[in-house]
Amino acid sequence: MKGIVAAVAPETAKRNLYIETYGCAMNLADSEVMASIMQAEGFKTTDDPLKADVVFLNTCAIRDNAEAKIWGRLKEMKGNKRKNPGMIIGLMGCMAERLKSKLLEQDQLVDIVVGPDAYRDIPKLIQQVEEGQRAVNVLLSREETYAEITPVRLGSNGVNAFISIMRGCDNMCSFCVVPFTRGRERSREPESIIREATELFEQGYKEVTLLGQNVDSYKWDASTPLSNPTTVSTPLSNPTTVSTPLSNPTT
C-alpha cells in the first residue's frame, strides 16, 4: 500500500493543507472531495507536511498491515508536530470510522477523527481544535454522496479521472469491514454524474472510472440514463472510455 500525496495550490488559498491517501480508489476520490471542501475555506494543499498547518491521513482498514503503516506514519507526524506545535493532525477514512474516538485517546497522535460521511464538517472540526478541543465526527449517513461538490483533481494526468457514483455496501460479507466503515448503500443522482463526466471530457479527459464500494448495486429510477451506470457515455459526444471497478464478489 503506497501513500498518495496531494499537491495543488490555488493562488487565493492562505493556509496549508497536506493530504496523504492510502488504500483504494474511493479513498483517492474522497481526498479530492475533501480538498475541494477545504479549498472553499481558504486552504491550499502542499506536498510538504512540514509546511502544513493541517495534516490529514486518509486511511484504509481492510488489512492489519494497512493500519500498522498508518500508526507508523502518525508517529512520524507527531515528530513533525514537535517542530511545528500549531500543526493540526487529522485521521479520515475507514480506519478513523473503525476505531472512532479511541484514536484520540491512544498515544494522543491525532487531533481530529472524521469518518467517510462527515467530510463537510472538517472546517468546523478544525475550529474546535483551535479552540482547545479534540474533535470527532464518525456518524454514518444514509444520504450523503457529496454529489454537488466538484472534486479537486489531485495529481491529475489530464487523461484519467474518478467519478464516485454510489457509497456504502449492504453485503455483510464475513471477510469485509466495509459495511461498518462506509455505511449503507446510497446512489448519486444520474444527472450529477453525467454533468461531472461532461465537464471532464470538455477539459480533455479521455477516460472516467465510475467508483463505489459496489457499483453493481447502483440504483436509481429505471427511466434515468444511469439505471445502468455504464451508459454514462450515452449522452456524451466526445470519444470516451468508461470503466466500473469494485464489483461485489457474490460467488
- Condensed to tens digits (0 to 9), the pLDDT of residues 145-187 reads 999 999 999 888 888 999 999 999 999 888 888 899 999 999 9
- Three cell numbers at 135? 474533535
What pLDDT shows up at residue 170?
A: 92
Number of residues that make up the chain: 251
Burial call 17-53: b when 16+ CB within 10 Å, e when fewer: bbbbbbbbebbbbbbbbbbbbbbeeebbbbeebeebb
The candidate with the shortest Cα–Cα distance to 166, out of 245, 239, 224, is 245
Domain definitions of the chain by residue range:
4-137, 160-243
Residue 132: CB atoms within 10 Å: 6
pLDDT for the residue 19:
98
Mean pLDDT of the chain: 85
How large is the average pLDDT for residues 127-140? Answer: 94
- Domain range 4-137, its CATH number among 3.40.50.300, 3.40.710.10, 3.40.50.2300, 1.10.540.10: 3.40.50.2300
If one looks up domain 160-243 in CATH, what number appears? 3.30.750.210
Cα–Cα distance for residue pair 93/54, rounded to 1 Å: 16
Q: At CA 127, angle to CA 8 and CA 56, rounded to 5?
A: 40
Q: What is residue 247's three-state secondary structure?
A: coil
Q: Which of 58-72, 112-126, 156-170, 181-195 has the highest mean pLDDT?
A: 112-126
DSSP letter for each residue of 35-49: HHHHHHTTEEE-S-G
pLDDT band at 12 (very low <50, low <70, confident <90, very high): very low
Contacts of 106 (CB under 8 A, 6+ apart): none
Confidence of residue 251 (pLDDT cuts 50, 70, 90): very low
Q: How far is CA 251 from CA 216, 247, 248, in A?
A: 14, 12, 9
pTM: 0.84
Q: What is the DSSP string of 213-228?
A: TTGGG----TTSTTSS
